[in-house]
Amino acid sequence: MPDTLASFDQLAVNFDRFAELVGGPLSDYLVSVLPDQGGRAVDLGCGTGRHAAMLAGRYRTVLAVDISAPMLQLAQARRPLANITYQHRDLCSLHPDIDGTFDLIVSAYALHHVPALYQTLCGIRALCAPGGRVVLVDNVAATPAVPRRWFISQARRTLASDLLGRRRPVAQAWELYRLNTDPAWLDHLTTDRFLSPDQFARCYAQVFPGARFTDLYRTRTMCWDAPAH
């Protein structure tokens, strides 16, 4: 994966708090598509373990992998559940001959970092057990690179909406603004490269025909069920 991903190493605590403040819509989506129970699940690019912890309440075992050691350290400290195994590794390194197959595969906001997306998606499909489910989530944008000024303007709009509409307590609104405009966070965001929503759908549907797509804020999700045989 690109060296820019290492910028997450300096952002683990802020990233976890940011996800706590704004992750509600994605959590609601995941709840809507996750089976009630299952055997093996994997979270590819698990970050600080929020989604892995959600899977742990439904699946017998969860493998959670991430390339950022500080993210994993925070995950293990804050979400040390007995049925989650955290591993420090590149999500592209998983292979069914080594890791087996999974009844559920989840990846959120990680795949725009991989250098060869199509091959990575094919690898993810190979990890899915017959009758299993794949849920992939990533950011999308109208242009591949989003300038710093756009993120700052959106942070200001969000702050104004939070304060004027009383969507959040005042202290939380300002906390989110500070997180959104943190220089290290902006440095990371402006190195990211995104697919457009249409490119996302075309690319993912090549590997996962018949997949269902859902749009969230700056995000497109994919849910695909593997044939039973």
| Mean pLDDT of all residues in 66-88 | 96
Task: Name the residue type at position 14.
Answer: N
pLDDT score at 11? 84
CB 180 within 8 A of CB 154: yes
| Mean pLDDT of all residues in 130-147 | 95
Q: Are strands 219-225 and 128-139 parallel, antiparallel or unpaired?
A: antiparallel
pLDDT score at 10? 64
Among 136, 128, 80, 76, which residue's Cα sits nearest to residue 100?
A: 128
Burial of 65 (0-12, 13-18, 19+ CB in 10 A): buried
Among 49, 107, 54, 44, which residue's Cα sits nearest to residue 80?
A: 49
pLDDT score at 8? 58
State the alpha helices, DSSP H only, in 117-196: 117-127, 148-164, 170-180, 183-189
Task: Name the residue type at position 96.
Answer: P
**Band of residue 1 on the pLDDT scale cut at 50, 70, 90:** very low
- Domain chopping of the chain, boundaries: 3-144+192-225, 148-184
State the alpha helices, DSSP H only, in 100-143: 117-127
Give the end-to-end CA distance of the chain in Å, rounded to a whole number: 33
Q: How many whole angstroms separate alpha carbon 117 and alpha carbon 204?
A: 9
220 pLDDT higher than 50: yes
pLDDT score at 78? 95
pLDDT score at 214? 96
Which residues have C-beta within 8 Å of that of residue 178, sequence separation ≥ 6? none
Q: Which CATH number fits domain 3-144+192-225: 3.40.228.10, 3.40.50.150, 3.90.550.10, 3.40.50.1450?
A: 3.40.50.150
pTM of the model: 0.91
Q: Is the dihedral of CA 202, 208, 213, 217 positive or negative?
A: negative
Q: How many residues does the chain have?
A: 229
pLDDT score at 9? 58
Q: What is the mean pLDDT of the chain?
A: 93
Among 70, 32, 74, 23, which residue's Cα sits nearest to residue 51?
A: 23
**Band of residue 188 on the pLDDT scale cut at 50, 70, 90:** confident
